[in-house]
């Protein structure tokens, strides 16, 4: 089963995205900040990470870089919002596989995941 790690400090978003992905047959784990994501990445070895950018403790960009440092093949999709264009560029440079703009529609998220694991 494809494992997805959802990283977002906003519980509501995590819950909703988890529900949607679980309904599509993914195995989903949640982390509420970058530091926790890093920890869980090493434990679970997810196939895909959905990573929010703005988070306490460790932000998404730092987490992306750190995880890619540990696992250069890590497939990470950034969850962004309007106004974060320059951060997105930095994320892409750091090896983000894709980015999805919030509020995202389910199809877009599913598409990004299926492309990422191709």
Q: Does 56 bind other proteins (CB under 8 A)?
A: yes
Residue 107 Cβ, how far from other proteins at the closest point, in Å?
7
> Three-state DSSP class for 102?
coil
Residue 71: HSE in the Cβ half-sphere, 13 Å Cα cutoff: 19
* Residue 55 token pair: 């988070």
Spatial separation of the C-alpha atoms in residues 87 and 106, rounded to whole Å: 23
Q: Does 20 bind other proteins (CB under 8 A)?
A: no
Q: Does 72 bind other proteins (CB under 8 A)?
A: no
- Of 64 and 91, which CB lies nearer to other proteins in the complex structure? 91
Spatial separation of the C-alpha atoms in residues 19 and 70, rounded to whole Å: 29
- Which residues are near other proteins by CB under 8 A? 1-3, 9-13, 15-16, 19, 24-26, 29-30, 40, 43-45, 47, 54-56, 80-86, 88-89, 91-93, 97-99, 101-103, 107-108, 110-118
């Amino acid at each position: 089963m494809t494992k997805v790690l959802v990283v977002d400090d906003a519980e509501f978003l995590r819950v909703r995205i988890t529900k949607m992905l679980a309904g599509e047959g993914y195995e989903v784990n949640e982390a509420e900040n970058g530091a926790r994501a890093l920890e869980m990445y090493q434990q679970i070895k997810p196939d895909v990470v959905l990573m929010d950018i703005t988070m306490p403790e460790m932000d998404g960009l730092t987490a992306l870089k750190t995880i890619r440092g540990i696992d250069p093949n890590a497939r990470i999709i950034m969850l962004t919002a309007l106004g974060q264009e320059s951060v997105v560029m930095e994320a892409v440079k750091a090896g983000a596989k894709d980015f999805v703009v919030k509020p995202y529609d389910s199809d877009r998220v599913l598409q990004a995941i299926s492309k990422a694991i191709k």
